[in-house]
Chains A and B, each alone.
Chain A
Amino acid sequence: MNDIKIWKHFNRESLYECYQCARCTGSCPAMEVAPAFGPRETILKCIGLGHEQVVEDERLWLCCTCNVCEDRCPQKIPIGDLLVALRNSAARRGNIPGRLAMAVELLAKTGRSMIVHQLDGMRAHHGLAPLPAAPVDELQKILRKAGLHQIVEF
């Protein structure tokens, strides 16, 4: 199965709906604390320089995925879809933050997003039975058929 292509997941024409009002960027929590592009600049770069310029830059990942940008866009541009598509493309080229790559590897290897450590005692403290293991073989079969192993080894 092919990975999603950027302009299949997000209609390229929608980029031209943007009139650079920057309401998105003014609302972006990541912009306040980190040298992020912000949605406005991301769209401008995609139009002016091509999306390759964006997906090769690690600042693309400075984002909370809170979707407030899309919520406040007066043009109703589906910015969330654009950011997902761009990051999928970045990951395919190997531009993926170390912490995130580790999280995805953990998920693929264990079927969970958290490391299970001394869990039984903690659950017993709250009167709960041990947590059954996730069906890892079945999950990995699905993830391989979907093509995740081409992006992150597991």
Chain B
Amino acid sequence: MKYALFLGCAIPIKYPGFEAVTRLVCERLGIELVDLPFSCCPPTTSLKLVHYDSWLALAARNICLAEEQGLDVLTLCSGCVNTLKEANHVLKQNEAKKKRVNRILEDTNHCFQGSVQVTHILDVLYQDSVVERIIKEKSRDIPLRIGCHYGCHYFRPPKVMYPDELSDAESYVPVRMDHLLSIIGVEPIEYSRKFLCCGSPLGANVDQDAGYAITRQKLGYIQERDIQGVSVICPSCFEQFDMGQIVLAKKSKERPKTPIFYLTQLIGLALGLSPKEVGLDVHRVKARKLLEETGIGWQ
């Protein structure tokens, strides 16, 4: 199993701990990762809204790099997977757009073919052979009650993100993170408005306070259940919940209390890596007390 690793921007620049633990976890599970000179994805929440053609061309260049190596693209972020999967989908289906993009790319010696797939780390880990390997390699259970947050762009619009798995109403309700975590001993907990946005794009583009108002709502729904931590698969969602709790605490005097985990950190802990090795030491909302109380420990 071999993929071109698409790091994006937020992970290698803001949360390199997620990159490090993902590389360690993939190595343990026999997933080979190849680094290529990718650029920003670019985001569906920024460049696409301002200039669609630039968004499509830059995304196409990234896909071309993987095509030139004959590798599928593995992303670590709900935003990156949205951009690259949608661009791949559009360019495979729309001959006119493909022609236009290839005319833009010809000066840089790339040509979109439509020969590879784009996927997300959650979907890679969810494959049967990888799940079997996780069960074999796992050295401990992670007995935490976790609420999963998928990030809107991971699965919407479903007709682009999961066209083969649509419900009768042509929708898609993601469950893979809940299922995957349950095999490492996590108890996935349902909560109200589980698929509500984290608030990040509204905050980043227009109004930080309005973005955090959504975050506060979502954290409220999470905290009204008996949830000890949240698992995410997107660095923007992570920042919104982790940093967001610190920002919101300054306004409301309420203590930040719900540690946020990136999916591969929890998998890494189950594979026997220490909390520091999975990068939990740099999170703003500290997980130390929770891990010590639940017997996972901090060393």
Contacts and interface: CB of A to CB of B under 8 A. Distances in A.
Contacts of B105: 142
Contacts of B9: 112-114
B46 A104 contact: yes
Interface of B: 9-10, 12-14, 16-17, 19-20, 37, 39-40, 42-54, 56-58, 61, 100, 103-105, 107-108, 152-153, 156-158, 170-171, 195-197, 199-202, 204-207, 210, 213-214, 217, 279, 282
Given A114-B10, A141-B108, A65 B201 contact: yes
A9 to B, nearest CB: 7
Given A34-B210, A88-B52, A134-B37, A125 B282 contact: yes
Interface string A73-93: 000101010011101100100
B108 A138 contact: yes
Nearest to B44: A65
The listed residue with most A CB atoms (<10 A of its CB), out of B57, B61, B105, is: B57
B43 A113 contact: yes
A85 to B, nearest CB: 8
Nearest to A35: B210
Given A66-B156, A107-B42, A146-B53, A131 B202 contact: no
Nearest to B217: A32
Nearest to A67: B156
A146 B107 contact: no
Interface residues of A, number: 64
A100 B58 contact: no
Contacts of A115: 13
Contacts of A78: 157
Interface in A86-140: 87-88, 91, 96-97, 99-101, 103-104, 107, 111-116, 119, 122-123, 125-128, 131-132, 134-135, 138-139
Across the A-B interface, the 8 shortest Cβ-Cβ residue pairs: A66-B152, A67-B156, A126-B20, A33-B213, A66-B197, A148-B54, A113-B9, A114-B13
Given A64-B201, A71-B157, A145-B104, A29 B13 contact: no
Given A114-B10, A128-B20, A80 B51 contact: no
Given A34-B210, A71-B171, A113 B46 contact: yes
Interface string A25-68: 00001101110000000000000000000000000011111111
Nearest to A58: B206
Contacts of A152: 50-51
Contacts of A83: 49
B104 A142 contact: yes
Contact of B49 (A1, A66, A70, A88): A88
Contact of B58 (A63, A80, A142): A142
B206 A4 contact: no
B39 A111 contact: yes
A41 B138 CA distance: 52
